[in-house]
Amino acid sequence: MKPLRRFRTLPVTLRVPLITAALMIILGLVASQSVLSALGRVQEARLSETAKLHIEGLSVALGPSVLRQDVWEVYDILDRARAGNEGQRLLLTVVADERGRVLAATDPRRAPVGAAAADFETGAVGPEAVRMTGDPVLRVTALLQYQGRTIGAIVTELDVTDLLAERRNVTLWLLFGNAMATVVLAFGGWLAVARILRPVGALVQAMDASGGAPRPIPETEIPQGDPGLARLIATYNQMTTAVEERAEAERRLADRERFVSLGRLSSSLAHEVNNPLGGLLNAADTIHTYADRPEVVRQSAELMQRGLGHLRDVTRAILDQNRLDRAGQRLRPEDFEDLRLLFEPEAHSRSQLLDWQVQAGAGALSGHPAAPVRQVALNLLLNAGVAAGMHGRVGFAVSNGGETLSISVSNTGAAMTEADLARLMASGPLPPGGGVGLRLVHDIVTGLGGRLSHDRKGEQTVIRADLPAHGSDHA
């Protein structure tokens, strides 16, 4: 399975030539086996015919001499037979009498007269059963019959070295030819596939070189001769246009989301400012009416001082949140106090319980940039406040664990939808519907090298952002 899985990961320009080469190898093996089988049948037929003619001729010529036990006549007949057309293939011929003793042989030193003929019959077969076994010497045996009776036997050794060499040469030529054909066809397949997929390669290069922003392929690089690939590239060009339009729409949505957030905060802050102003006007009217009563004037002045102090705190928070020169500021504990002052009116308007815990000191906060961290915390708080609903509970906690600053925002209420989770946790295209506040949190945390996590515990949703420290220079 692993080789197959690795093969599937290879590019098409390699897989097609490899498949072609494999098919050629299989075809070559089948064709070579067929050729070698046919050659073997031809060789075996020639050998069988040679052995049959040799033994039948000897049987006719040797019958009377063997019957008379005329050794010298048998020798003479064997010499004349050996000098025939196939004499170079006959290594040894042994003639035995009816007792199984050697009567004569073409090589008397190997087969002396009177020796047992059974020693030469080992592995011998009849002329019709001769087969190529890979042995350079084959033995053929047959009974010697004369006038209807068996008077002895003939054993012949045949030299088939030349036939084996012929078979070996044919095998080498077949291997060489098949290898050359396989290489040529595989190379041709690679060229053909590479040429066919050249437009696809241009498409891949355009996507790789885009740096996250797909660029269209020029019309001159679209293959007009291939309608399928031309349609594919045209579709890709349309997709790039759609991606650019979608990115522009996302930027506009982000701007709109920021304005909506500012509008919500402005409404809450207007309510927060309006109440102290009403009290200040009442205190001023009381002082004007009871100017001759020092105790009343003093109490009204104290009320005015508390109201003006509250207005001062609200105004400072607004200035700190929207001041343009905060881009290079380091994070401070006061930043979270300002966020609390900004968010509390939102929570009070829904009668929500706010649990606020900041356990990180100034030293741990100074390694983080103020503006993006505040933006992340504010967006998470605003979304948590909406999700908690009336009489819900919102939690905000900041802690420091070594080199990591953890911001955790929790809320009761319904769980986050799949679309909201996709906006917060993923980097793909924005799902339809909704704003981009959660995606903005994702982009800021990712840009800072941090990590977001989401957890649902009972009826409480917890979102945590872990931000690594970058040092005061980076901040």
What integer pLDDT is reported at residue 411 of this predicted model?
95
Q: Are strands 353-358 and 393-401 parallel, antiparallel or unpaired?
A: parallel
- Of 96, 89, 121, 94, the C-alpha closest to 106 is 94
What integer pLDDT is reported at residue 326 of this predicted model?
47
Length of the chain counted residue by residue: 475
Q: How many other C-beta atoms are found inside a 10 Å radius of the C-beta of residue 273?
A: 17
Q: Are strands 460-468 and 404-412 parallel, antiparallel or unpaired?
A: antiparallel
Contacts of 220 by beta carbon, 8 Å cutoff, 6+ apart: none
What integer pLDDT is reported at residue 474 of this predicted model?
44
What integer pLDDT is reported at residue 325 of this predicted model?
43
How confident is the chain (475 residues) per 10-residue block, as mean pLDDT? 68 74 83 84 84 82 82 83 65 87 87 86 85 86 85 87 87 86 81 71 63 64 64 73 72 67 62 63 75 78 72 64 57 84 81 91 85 86 90 93 88 89 76 65 89 91 89 43
What integer pLDDT is reported at residue 475 of this predicted model?
40
Both structure tokens of 368:
């983080």
